[in-house]
């Protein structure tokens, strides 16, 4: 049965590359990039490949039909050499936003983990240790769910906003794409950022994630020498000042007593905040609430701000951006875990982008599959499932998603 | 407003391109340095390098009333420093010149600082008095130029996240811009000194070079070869929380992220654990691959590839990668997990010594 599934997926992938490899574009300076491909057979990774032009890349894709196809964000003098002799010349600035890094309530519903030690199963993110055999190794099965992907999109929009306003990149310089699985990629190919080293990229990461922020450098201070009254940033301020203010605004607007206590605020302070919500909200019209609430001093504000900053920051995968040798999925190739495409789209169309429509690669044909278990999902306008131990005739794209996820087999 | 740098500015900042151009027209040649009319220049050149070795922190002085000599002695001093073929002297001289420039720059107005910064190709502008501009800043600098020069600073006010940045420009006071320029100047001079050709020098200059090498040996001979010593065996109980977590995770076969692996390996190597033991540590992992693991560990140890031994991540970096589980008491005020380790070891040693004899 398994062989069948595998060969079915591969035949579909082959069909795709045969008809559509011309969609694959060359990344800038293709001759300086390293390429990597994960093969179906034995899941072998072929690395250190180089191509002179896009035609040879396309014909290679048609020939090997990979499960995953990658290229380096880096530029090398000799991309086919082993790592230490490649000669790093520079790298694009890359950001990865993956639902794995964003906590959502539905993860508990659709994500499954299995203990590698004893086979114990659970839902959501795996625990530190298996409750049964207390080993720490798990196999995780995640799901590209709409809610999670929407959450990832929100984070992507925050990131784009920071890149536009704070870093001053233009709409066309910021390239956004759907990863084909559970997230989005954002990247910049501008010359000026190419030779930033890992340490400099880490500073950019910290800026975007709000790491190491100290509000005293963003306007939170005593109103005057020796004064115990505080002043702080305003809603309309630019950069992190404004984000701090807006983060705090949202928090004080929505948070209930319990949430505020979790921040370590004293009970009577929490009570003051909850009871004076109206006054606090109105205070933003003038100087903000910084000097307003009795009993909320510098330390309490810092705790509130930390929470507000967390909400305003974009949750990117920090490692991807600082790793200057990273391989990145090639645009307009198939993701082996879903059969969906990695596709780019204009920055200002991000709101309208629909992964279950715009990233669908297979538009024709039907196939009958036996589905072990699968949550409800959508392809185009049609929803399917949930399924449990049943046969169903599905459009190829829908079937492929389940097959790639290992949730179904091709029915004989 | 576009101010050009004057000749007296060149005497202060002799490394800017215009100054270099001017010096060229003087026709100064290495082999003419023994001629008596160049004696003042040669003297001052030697003085510059000497000052770098004799002051602490190193700083070359600025002799205000002799612009011509102040200006043309700089390239000669560079030749002399380079001719010592001693990395320590070169580094220290570059730093001393950079500190001299900083000292002068911080007394200049924003326009002068702007011009010097532009001479280094910085994308920098003066902050105009628009209502929307953040107050209290005089200059704004492209973030890439900022990041390139801020690396050596660890204070939190220099972190990008704690700066005002708008449209790709980081807002700076004139004073801060001067401080960043010091870094640019230091690197610029270090690069000039990197040429490893030993010029054929007239005997009097060659003798100067020998003398400088002697001073260096007398004053700094040993200091820089000292290494921090840890006990031969890594003491797991003294690991900081971040490393302890990673260590336990690896020992129990959990998958570590790339950053996690790197953090753990480089720390253990620096704590004195031999590469083979580290490879063993990863053995229980489900995706263990002896050859790959050995390669990675040896690479980090500097036994392969680029041959540089990697320094372990600082707390800052561990935090960025989400590997800092939150500070413990002993972490407070630390910047590096190795410092934690050193402190803890010291505390353990102290408590052992003070333990009464009848306790085990
Ligand atoms: S503060 Fe530093 S040493 Fe302490 S746990 Fe965090 S990263 Fe480790
Ligand atoms: Zn188990
Ligand atoms: Zn979900």
B324 pocket-lining for ligand 1 (C-beta < 6 Å): yes
Task: Please give the average per-residue pLDDT across B124-147, as a whole number.
Answer: 90
pLDDT surpassing 80 at residue B3: no
Least confident piece of the model among A42-51, A144-153, A365-374, B285-294? B285-294
Query: Chain B residue closest to A319 (CA)?
Result: B321
Q: Cis (ω within 30 of 0) for the bond into A386?
A: yes
Mutate to test the interface with A, among B161, B291, B295 (most CBs of A within 10 A): B161
Q: Quick: pLDDT tens for B271-286.
A: 888 888 888 888 877 6
* CA neighbor of A206 nearest in space, from B321, B322, B161: B161
Tokens of B60: 């070359």
Q: What pLDDT does A11 receive?
A: 96
- Counting residues of chain A whose pLDDT is more than 90, the rounded percentage is 73
Q: What pLDDT does B225 receive?
A: 33
| A214/B162 touch (CB, cutoff 8 Å), yes or no | yes
Query: Cα distance from B304 to chain A (closest Cα, Å)?
Result: 9
Element (H, E) at B79: helix B67-83
Tokens of B53: 């070795």
Q: At B299, is the pLDDT very low, low, confident or very high (cuts 50, 70, 90)?
A: confident
Q: What pLDDT does B352 receive?
A: 58
Q: What pLDDT does B228 receive?
A: 47
Ordered structural domains, chain A, with CATH: 2-99+149-204+319-350 (3.90.920.10), 108-141 (no CATH), 215-312 (1.10.8.160), 362-412 (3.40.5.50)
Q: Which of A228-237, B43-52, B292-301, B332-341 has the highest mean pLDDT?
A: B43-52
Tokens of B55: 């002051």
| A196/B259 touch (CB, cutoff 8 Å), yes or no | no
Q: At B306, is the pLDDT very low, low, confident or very high (cuts 50, 70, 90)?
A: low
Residue A162's CB is within 10 A of a number of other CB atoms, namely: 22
Q: Quick: pLDDT tens for A261-292.
A: 888 888 888 888 888 888 999 999 988 899 88
Query: Cα distance from A373 to chain B (closest Cα, Å)?
Result: 27
The residue to mutate among B248, B267, B316, B340, having the most atoms of ligand 1 within 8 angstroms of its beta carbon, is B340
Q: Quick: pLDDT tens for A89-139.
A: 999 999 999 998 888 888 888 888 899 989 999 888 888 889 999 888 888
Task: Please give the average per-residue pLDDT across B204-232, as a whole number.
Answer: 73
Tell me how far the alpha carbon of residue B317 lies from the centroid of ligand 1, in angstroms. 10
Q: What pLDDT does B358 receive?
A: 38
Separation CA B234–CA B273 (nearest Å): 6
Tokens of A144: 């590209």
Residue with tokens 């690479």: B299
Q: What pLDDT does B224 receive?
A: 37
pLDDT surpassing 70 at residue B302: yes
Residue A7's CB is within 10 A of a number of other CB atoms, namely: 12
Q: Quick: pLDDT tens for A320-330.
A: 999 999 999 99
Q: What pLDDT does B357 receive?
A: 37
End-to-end CA gap in chain B: 78
Tokens of B129: 């008095």
The DSSP bridge pattern shows strands A112-115 and A121-123 to be: antiparallel
Q: Where are the alpha helices (DSSP H) in A210-335?
A: 239-254, 257-262, 267-275, 277-283, 298-312, 318-322
Q: Which residues of A touch B306 (CB under 8 A)?
A: 84
pLDDT surpassing 60 at residue A34: yes
Task: Please give the average per-residue pLDDT across B67-76, as a whole number.
Answer: 93
B327 pocket-lining for ligand 1 (C-beta < 6 Å): yes
pLDDT averaged over chain B?
A: 85
Q: Quick: pLDDT tens for A373-383.
A: 999 999 999 99
Q: What pLDDT does B221 receive?
A: 63
The DSSP bridge pattern shows strands A35-38 and A408-410 to be: unpaired
Q: Quick: pLDDT tens for A38-51.
A: 999 999 999 999 99
Q: CB of B305 within 8 A of CB of A84?
A: yes
- Counting residues of chain B whose pLDDT is more than 70, the rounded percentage is 90
Q: CB of A196 within 8 A of CB of A207?
A: no
pLDDT averaged over chain A?
A: 93
- DSSP-assigned letter for residue A341: B
Within 8 A by CB and 6+ apart from A274, the residues are A256, A257, A260
pLDDT surpassing 70 at residue B301: yes
Q: At B195, is the pLDDT very low, low, confident or very high (cuts 50, 70, 90)?
A: confident
B312 pocket-lining for ligand 1 (C-beta < 6 Å): no
Q: What pLDDT does B294 receive?
A: 86
Q: Give nearest CA residue, ligand 1 atom 3.
A: B337
Task: Please give the average per-residue pLDDT across B12-16, as a whole number.
Answer: 95
Q: Quick: pLDDT tens for A57-73.
A: 999 999 999 999 999 99
Q: What pLDDT does A264 receive?
A: 84
CATH 1.20.930.80 matches B107-187: yes
Q: Is the dihedral of CA A386, A391, A395, A396 positive or negative?
A: positive
Asked casually if ipTM beats, i.e. exceeds, 0.95, the reply is no
Within 8 A by CB and 6+ apart from A132, the residues are A115, A118, A120
Tokens of A146: 């709409």
Q: Cis (ω within 30 of 0) for the bond into A358?
A: no
Task: Please give the average per-residue pLDDT across A295-316, as a whole number.
Answer: 91
A96 is catalytic: yes
Ligand nearest to the CA of A118: 2
pLDDT surpassing 50 at residue B356: no
Predicted TM-score of the model (pTM): 0.80
Q: At B226, is the pLDDT very low, low, confident or very high (cuts 50, 70, 90)?
A: very low
Express the helix, strand and coil content of chain B in percent, nearest 5 each.
60, 5, 35
Q: What pLDDT does B223 receive?
A: 39
Show which residues on chain B lie within 8 Å of chain A, measured between beta carbons.
134, 142-144, 147-148, 150-151, 156-157, 159-169, 249, 252-255, 257-259, 286, 299, 304-306, 316-317, 319-322
Which residues 235-274 on chain A approach chain B with CB closer than 8 angstroms?
238-241
Question: Where are the domains positioned within chain B?
Answer: 7-104+196-216, 107-187, 236-354
Residue B100's CB is within 10 A of a number of other CB atoms, namely: 22
A98 is catalytic: yes
Residue with tokens 């519903």: A109
Q: At B359, is the pLDDT very low, low, confident or very high (cuts 50, 70, 90)?
A: very low
Within 8 A by CB and 6+ apart from B115, the residues are B3, B4, B5, B9
Give how far the C-alpha of residue A145 lies from the chain's centroid of Cα atoms, to the nearest Å: 13
Q: Quick: pLDDT tens for B156-188.
A: 899 999 999 999 999 999 999 999 999 999 999
Express the helix, strand and coil content of chain A in percent, nearest 5 each.
40, 20, 40
Q: What pLDDT does A107 receive?
A: 85
Residue with tokens 């004195």: B272
A250 is catalytic: no
Residue with tokens 């800092």: B324
Separation CA A141–CA A405 (nearest Å): 8
């Amino acid at each position: 049965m398994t062989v069948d599934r595998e060969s079915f997926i591969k035949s579909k992938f082959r069909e795709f590359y045969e008809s559509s490899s011309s969609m694959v574009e060359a990344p800038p300076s293709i001759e300086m990039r390293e390429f990597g491909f994960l093969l179906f057979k034995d899941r072998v990774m072929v690395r250190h490949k180089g191509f002179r032009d896009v035609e040879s890349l396309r014909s290679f894709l048609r020939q090997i039909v990979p499960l995953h196809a990658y290229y380096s964000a880096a530029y090398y003098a000799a991309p086919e050499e082993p790592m230490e002799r490649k000669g790093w010349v520079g790298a694009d600035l890359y950001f990865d936003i993956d639902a794995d890094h964003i906590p959502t309530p539905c993860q508990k519903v659709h994500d499954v983990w299995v203990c590698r030690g004893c086979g114990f199963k659970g839902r959501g993110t795996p625990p530190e240790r298996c409750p049964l055999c207390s080993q720490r190794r798990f196999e995780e099965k995640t799901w590209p769910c709409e809610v999670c992907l929407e959450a990832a999109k929100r984070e992507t929009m925050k990131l784009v906003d920071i890149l536009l306003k704070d870093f001053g990149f233009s709409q066309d310089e910021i390239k956004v794409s759907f990863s084909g699985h559970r997230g989005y990629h954002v990247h910049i190919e501008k010359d000026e950022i190419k030779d930033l080293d890992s340490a400099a990229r880490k500073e950019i990461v910290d800026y975007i994630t709000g790491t190491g922020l100290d509000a005293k450098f963003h306007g939170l201070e005593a109103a005057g020498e020796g004064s115990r009254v505080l002043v702080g940033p305003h809603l309309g301020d630019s950069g992190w000042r404004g984000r701090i203010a807006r983060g705090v605004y949202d928090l004080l607007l929505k948070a209930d007593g319990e949430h505020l206590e979790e921040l370590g605020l004293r009970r009577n302070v929490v009570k003051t905040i909850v009871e004076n919500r109206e006054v606090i909200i109105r205070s933003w019209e003038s100087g903000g609430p910084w000097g307003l609430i009795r009993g909320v001093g510098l330390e309490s504000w810092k705790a509130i701000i930390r929470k507000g900053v967390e909400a305003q920051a974009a949750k990117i995968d920090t490692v991807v951006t600082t790793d200057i040798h990273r391989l990145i999925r090639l645009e307009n190739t198939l993701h082996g875990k879903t059969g969906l495409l990695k596709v780019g789209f204009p920055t200002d169309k991000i709101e309208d982008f629909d992964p279950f429509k715009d990233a669908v690669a297979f538009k024709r044909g039907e196939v009958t599959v036996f589905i072990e278990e699968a949550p409800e999902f959508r392809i185009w306008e049609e929803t399917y499932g949930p399924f449990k131990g049943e046969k169903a005739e599905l459009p190829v794209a829908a079937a492929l998603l389940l097959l790639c996820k290992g949730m179904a087999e091709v029915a004989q | 407003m576009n101010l050009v740098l004057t000749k007296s500015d060149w005497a202060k900042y002799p490394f800017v391109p215009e100054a270099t151009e001017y010096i060229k027209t003087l026709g100064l040649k290495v082999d003419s340095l023994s001629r008596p009319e160049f004696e003042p220049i040669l003297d001052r050149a030697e003085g510059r390098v000497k000052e770098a070795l004799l002051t602490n922190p190193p700083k070359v002085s600025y002799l205000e009333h002799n612009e011509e000599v102040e200006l043309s002695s700089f390239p000669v001093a560079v030749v002399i420093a380079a001719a010592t073929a001693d990395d320590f002297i070169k580094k220290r001289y570059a730093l001393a010149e950079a500190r001299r420039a900083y000292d002068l720059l911080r007394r200049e107005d924003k326009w002068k600082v702007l011009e010097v910064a532009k001479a280094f190709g910085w994308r920098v502008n003066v902050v105009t008095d628009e209502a929307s501009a953040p107050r209290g800043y005089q200059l704004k600098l492209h973030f890439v130029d900022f990041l390139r020069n801020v690396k050596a600073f660890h204070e939190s006010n220099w972190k990008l996240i704690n700066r005002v940045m708008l449209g790709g420009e980081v807002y700076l006071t004139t004073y801060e811009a001067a401080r960043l320029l010091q870094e640019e100047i230091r690197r610029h001079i270090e690069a000039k000194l990197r040429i490893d050709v030993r010029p054929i020098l007239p005997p009097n200059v060659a003798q100067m070079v020998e003398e400088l090498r002697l001073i260096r040996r007398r004053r700094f001979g040993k200091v820089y070869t000292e290494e921090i010593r840890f006990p031969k065996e890594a003491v797991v109980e003294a690991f900081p929380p971040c490393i302890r977590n990673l260590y336990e995770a690896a020992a129990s076969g959990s998958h570590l992220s790339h950053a996690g692996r790197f953090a753990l390996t480089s720390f253990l190597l620096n704590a004195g654990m031999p590469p083979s033991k580290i490879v063993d540590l990863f053995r229980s992992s489900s995706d263990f691959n002896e050859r790959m693991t050995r390669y990675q560990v040896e690479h980090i140890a500097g036994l392969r590839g680029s041959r540089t031994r990697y320094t372990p991540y600082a707390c800052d970096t561990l935090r960025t990668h989400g590997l800092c589980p939150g500070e413990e008491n002993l972490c407070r005020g630390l910047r590096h997990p190795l410092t934690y380790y050193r402190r803890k070891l010291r505390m353990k040693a102290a408590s052992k010594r003070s333990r009464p004899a009848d306790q085990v």
